[in-house]
Structure 1
Amino acid sequence: MNFPGTWMTTSESVVYRVVPKCACSTIGQILYYSDNGEFFDGDIHDATEGLHKWALDDSQGPISRVVRNHEAYAFTCVRNPYTRILSSFFDKICGIQRNGKRYRGKMVPMLMQKYGVEVGGDDGRDAFDQIASFRRFLLFVRDTIRWRKPMEPDIHWSSTSGHVSTFIANGGRYDRIFWTEAFNDGMQGVLDNIETKHAVDLARIPRFNESEGHGPKRAHPVEAYFDDLAMHLMWEIYHRDFRLFRYDFDNPANKMPTGEIDLDEVHAKLS
C-alpha cells in the first residue's frame, strides 16, 4: 500500500496527508516542533530527518504500519479552490523559486508561447495584466487535468480531493479534515487529540509561508479574476472540492466554508 504525500512524526503521534497550497509548510513545522522542540532550519519540505515522510525510504515501513492499523490520529487540511489556484499561479507561474529559477524549467516559457500567459518579466516584478494571464493559465490547468496535455497535472493545481483520496483509497482513514481558513481552530482540534513531546502554543507559532515573496502581489480581489467562463472552468476542474469541503462556488469573494465537512461522506465518495 502506498501513501504518497504522507508525513508522520517520528514519535508516531500523528499522521498528516500533505495537500500543496494548504498551509502545509506551517503544519509540517508544527509536527517537527512537537517532536524536536525546535523548528526545522529551512523549508520543511527539504527536511530528511526529524519527520517521517513517504518520500524517504526508511519512513515507508513505519507510515504503512501506522496508517493501515490506524495507530495514530490522521488529518489533513483543505483550502478554498478559488484562492488555492490563484496562489499557485502567483507562486509557481509568476514567481522565481528558491533555487533562483522558474518552476519546472521550460513550463513557463511554454505557457507564454502556447497560452499567451504573461508573468511580469524575468523576475516577475514588471506590470502585466494579471486577470487576463490568470484566465489563460486556468485554461492550461483544465487541459492538464482533463486531457493530460500538454503535460500531466501538477500537484499544486491538481484537485484537493485527488490528494485527499489516495490516503483513503490505500486503506487510511482521517480523524479530522479542517480548513486553512479556520486554521487555528482546526489545528488545535488535532493537537487536543494527540500527545506531543513538546507543547505547541498555536498563538505563538509563526506562519511558514514558503511561497511568500516568490511572485508578484495579487493586485485585485479574488472575485475579479473569475468571470463566467473562469467559473465554468473552476466547476469543471474542482466541483468535487467545492461539494465535499463545503466551499461557496457561486461567490468567489466568499473564501469561508458554508457548512461542516462530513467525514463519512468524504470517505464514501473518495474511497
Structure 2
Amino acid sequence: MIKKANTDDSEKQTMFYYQNCTQRLGPQQMNYHFSISLKNKYFFCEVAKSGCSSAKKELWRQEVLDVPMPESFLNTNHNPHAPFHQHMLIKPFQLGRTKFNEFIRDPSVVKWAIVRNPFTRILSGYLDKVQRNEPMFDNIAHQVAKIRGVQRDAVEASSVSFEEYCQALAQFRRPVDFDQHWRPQYAHICADIIPYTFFAKLETLDDEAKDISRRLGLSNLSFGAGKTHATGSNEKVAQYYTDKTADIVRKVYAGDFKHFHYDLDLPV
C-alpha cells in the first residue's frame, strides 16, 4: 500500500477539485469513475483493468449491507458496468461542485484508488479489449489507421499486433484522448489534483484487504481481485513484450512507474 502525502501542487488545488478534474477527464468520465460514500466517508476512483469491477461490486455490497433490499433491485443495480446514475455510491454531479470540493478537502475523508503495474495492465487491455474486439478497440483502431496510412475501416482487431497497439498508445497526447482501459493511471485518477490518502496495489490487494477495511471502517472486504475480466496477462508478459514495446510502455506510462513505485524491469 502506498501512502500519499499532500504536496504543494495538491494544496494549490484547494476548492478547485471538481473544476480541475472535470477539465482533465470531462464530466462523463469523471462521474463514471469517481465514487463517494457519504455513509462511510470515503472517495474512491476506479481504474479500468485494475480490478475495478470486483472492487465496485464489493464496495456496493458493503454500502447496503445493513439495508434490506429486494433481490430484484440488487440484480438490476449491482452491475458494475451500469450507467453511473444507477450506481450504489454517490457521484460528483449529485453532490455538485461546492459540496464535492468540501468533501474532498475534509481530512477525515479517506481518498483512495487501486493501481496496477503498467506492464500487465496494458497487456491486459490488449488481450481483453483488442483481441476480443470490444467497442473500446475503436480508440486504438483510429491510431493504428494513422500509423498504417489507411482508413479506419481497413483496420480489423485481429490484424493488430501487440507492437502496433503499443505504438498506437504513444500517439495520444491528452489523458482524455485515451480510452479508460489504457489511460495513464496517474492522470486518470487525478493524483496531482486529489489529495489521496493512499493507493492500494492490485498485485497485493487480497493481502491488503484487512488494512483497507480498517481504514474505511468496513468489515471483511473481499475483492476477488481482477477476476471479472481476467486475461491471464500476469503470466503472458514474456510472451508478448519485446525490448521495443517495453520501452514504449515505460515512456507513455512514466508517471505511473514513478509515482506508484513500480519497477521499470518487466515483471517475471
State the TM-score, normalized to the length of structure 2.
Answer: 0.70
8 A Cα contact 2:144 2:165, kept in partner: no
1:266 corresponds to: none
2:103 corresponds to: 66
State which of 250, 253, 257 in structure 1 corresponds to 2:267: 253
State which of 202, 220, 224 in structure 2 corresponds to 1:200: 220
Distance in 1 of aligned mates of 2:141 and 2:114 = 32
Distance in 2 of aligned mates of 1:242 and 1:109 = 26
List alignment gaps of at least 5 residues for structure 1: 121-127, 255-271
Distance in 2 of aligned mates of 1:113 and 1:227 = 22
2:256 corresponds to: 241
After superposition, the C-alpha distances for 1:183-202 in whole angstroms (9 at most, x for unaligned) are 11233222112324xx4352
8 A Cα contact 2:136 2:179, kept in partner: no
Amino acid at match of 1:247: Y
Distance in 1 of aligned mates of 2:141 and 2:252 = 24
After superposition, the C-alpha distances for 1:207-233 in whole angstroms (9 at most, x for unaligned) are 5744358xxx76972123221211221
Alpha-carbon spacing, 1:79–1:242, altered in 2? closer, same or farther (3 Å): same
Is residue 187 of structure 2 the alignment partner of residue 162 of structure 1?
A: yes
Alpha-carbon spacing, 1:42–1:133, altered in 2? closer, same or farther (3 Å): same
Is residue 239 of structure 2 the alignment partner of residue 211 of structure 1?
A: no
State which of 31, 52, 57 in structure 1 corresponds to 2:90: 52
Distance in 2 of aligned mates of 1:17 and 1:224 = 31
Identity of aligned residues (%): 19
Structure with greater helix percent? 2
Distance in 2 of aligned mates of 1:82 and 1:219 = 9
Q: Secondary structure at the match of 1:144?
A: coil
Deviation at 1:114, TM superposition (A): 4.4
Distance in 1 of aligned mates of 2:227 and 2:239 = 24
Describe how 1:76-91 pairs up with structure 2 within 5 A. 76-91=113-128
Alpha-carbon spacing, 1:239–1:110, altered in 2? closer, same or farther (3 Å): closer
Alpha-carbon spacing, 1:244–1:112, altered in 2? closer, same or farther (3 Å): closer
Aligned length: 222
Distance in 1 of aligned mates of 2:113 and 2:258 = 17
Alpha-carbon spacing, 1:45–1:14, altered in 2? closer, same or farther (3 Å): farther
Amino acid at match of 1:51: L
Is residue 178 of structure 2 the alignment partner of residue 153 of structure 1?
A: yes
Is residue 209 of structure 2 the alignment partner of residue 187 of structure 1?
A: yes
Is residue 152 of structure 2 the alignment partner of residue 119 of structure 1?
A: no
Alpha-carbon spacing, 1:107–1:184, altered in 2? closer, same or farther (3 Å): closer
After superposition, the C-alpha distances for 1:74-128 in whole angstroms (9 at most, x for unaligned) are 111110111100111122222244xxxx336x546546644566533xxxxxxx7
2:47 corresponds to: 19
Q: Secondary structure at the match of 1:192?
A: helix
Amino acid at match of 2:179: D
Alpha-carbon spacing, 1:208–1:233, altered in 2? closer, same or farther (3 Å): closer
8 A Cα contact 1:34 1:200, kept in partner: no
Alpha-carbon spacing, 1:167–1:220, altered in 2? closer, same or farther (3 Å): closer
After superposition, the C-alpha distances for 1:157-176 in whole angstroms (9 at most, x for unaligned) are 12111123x2542xx32222
8 A Cα contact 1:9 1:31, kept in partner: no
8 A Cα contact 1:29 1:44, kept in partner: no
Q: Secondary structure at the match of 1:52?
A: coil
State the TM-score, normalized to the length of structure 1.
Answer: 0.69
8 A Cα contact 2:131 2:157, kept in partner: yes
Deviation at 1:52, TM superposition (A): 1.1
Deviation at 1:11, TM superposition (A): 0.9
State which of 31, 53, 67 in structure 1 corresponds to 2:59: 31
State which of 228, 243, 250 in structure 1 corresponds to 2:243: 228
Q: Which has the higher contact order (CA 8 A, sep 6+)?
A: 2
Distance in 1 of aligned mates of 2:48 and 2:212 = 19
8 A Cα contact 1:43 1:210, kept in partner: no
